[in-house]
Amino acid sequence: MGVYTIVTSGVPCIQKLVKKFEREEMNDISVYRKELSEFSRRAFYRGLVGGTGGNLSVRVRDTNTVLVTPSGISLGDVVPEENILVNLEGEILESSKGLRPSKETGFHLAAYQLRPDVGAIAHVHPPYATAYSNKMAPLPLATVSARVNLKHVPCIECFLPGSSELRESVIEGIKKNPDSPCILMKEHGILAMGRDLKHAYYIADLTEDTAKIAYIEATIPPKP
Ligand SMILES: [Zn+2]
């Protein structure tokens, strides 16, 4: 009876401690740094991006800051301390080795400002989805899973990478499609937005898989 009393009265205490630990962990920037590198590598080795292209970012919870991958380093190689902390105005707050944030930081920050529900972004160049972007039409949602999880994947016009025109085009695309978790960028790639890094990665992954299925489907002749 005595032991039972100790255990039951101890549970809320343990829950409180776990919650405190989780809160502290979520505010620990090193956790975000590690996670950002982990999903960057996953995107590279999954073939969602090649060379030094693409960039990922994550919003640091309860702050006006964002951690973004650096310019000029492959997503397959980026290590946690190379990720760069910026504020929503784009000012660099923490950077090691003199690295600069990705040249596409501008449209990442615009997306965070327009969509408070977005906690992370994966901008990658996956081959099938990018090929579909060249049609300048929404991605054909070939599966039930795509229709449920992607809802609608519109396409925006092509502008030079890193340009203010591309940033403006992304802003317009998000404003016109406030519920879309992903946007095709003509002749360039995709912008996948999620609650957190894992979610943004899954959206990018599903978008590429959906484009591949749509492509294969298009090669199958109709019933005679
Ligand atoms: Zn790009």
The partner residues of 86 in beta bridges, in order of sequence, read 66, 92
Confidence at residue 25, expressed as pLDDT on a 0 to 100 scale? 53
Compute, in angstroms, the gap from residue 1 CA to the centroid of ligand 1: 64
Rounded to 10 degrees, the C-alpha dihedral 68/74/79/83 comes to -20
Confidence at residue 5, expressed as pLDDT on a 0 to 100 scale? 40
Tell me if 2 is assigned to some domain: no
The partner residues of 155 in beta bridges, in order of sequence, read 184
Rounded to whole angstroms, the Cα distance separating 56 from 191 reads 10
Name the domain count of the chain: 1
Confidence at residue 223, expressed as pLDDT on a 0 to 100 scale? 87
Does the pLDDT at position 27 exceed 90?
no
Helix (H) or strand (E) holding 12: helix 2-26
Rounded to whole angstroms, the Cα distance separating 180 from 114 reads 13
Greater pLDDT, 154 or 1: 154
Tell me if 171 is assigned to some domain: yes
Q: Of 220, 217, 218, 211, which is closest to residue 139 (Cα–Cα)?
A: 211
Domain that residue 94 falls in: 32-219
Query: Could you report the per-residue pLDDT of 156-169, keeping only the tens digit for each?
Result: 999 999 999 999 99
Greater pLDDT, 196 or 28: 196
Confidence at residue 224, expressed as pLDDT on a 0 to 100 scale? 83
Contact predicate 126/211, CB 8 Å? yes
Compute, in angstroms, the gap from residue 26 CA to the centroid of ligand 1: 28
Buried b (16+ CB within 10 A) or exposed e, 27-58: eebeebbebbbebbbbbbeeebbeebbbbbbb
Rounded to 5 degrees, φ, ψ at 220 are -85, 125
Distance of CA 34 to the CA centre of its chain: 15
Q: How far is CA 165 from CA 73, 99, 159, in A?
A: 24, 24, 6
Tell me if 195 is assigned to some domain: yes
Compute, in angstroms, the gap from residue 159 CA to the centroid of ligand 1: 11
Q: How confident is the model at residue 19 (pLDDT cuts 50, 70, 90)?
A: low
Q: What is the mean pLDDT of residues 38-55?
A: 98
Does the pLDDT at position 13 exceed 60?
no
Confidence at residue 10, expressed as pLDDT on a 0 to 100 scale? 52
Compute, in angstroms, the gap from residue 20 CA to the centroid of ligand 1: 38
Q: What is the CATH number of the domain that holds 198?
A: 3.40.225.10
Compute, in angstroms, the gap from residue 40 CA to the centroid of ligand 1: 14
Q: How confident is the model at residue 217 (pLDDT cuts 50, 70, 90)?
A: very high
Tell me if 209 is assigned to some domain: yes
Please count the other Cβ atoms lying within 10 Å of the Cβ belonging to residue 191. Answer: 27
Confidence at residue 135, expressed as pLDDT on a 0 to 100 scale? 97
Tell me if 210 is assigned to some domain: yes
Query: Could you report the per-residue pLDDT of 169-195, keeping only the tens digit for each?
Result: 999 999 999 999 999 999 999 999 999
Contact predicate 133/211, CB 8 Å? no
Q: What is the mean pLDDT of residues 8-20?
A: 56
Tell me if 150 is assigned to some domain: yes
Burial of residue 183 (number of CB atoms within 10 Å: 0-12, 13-18, 19+) = buried
Confidence at residue 150, expressed as pLDDT on a 0 to 100 scale? 98
Compute, in angstroms, the gap from residue 46 CA to the centroid of ligand 1: 16
Tell me if 9 is assigned to some domain: no
Tell me if 172 is assigned to some domain: yes
Confidence at residue 6, expressed as pLDDT on a 0 to 100 scale? 42
Compute, in angstroms, the gap from residue 102 CA to the centroid of ligand 1: 10
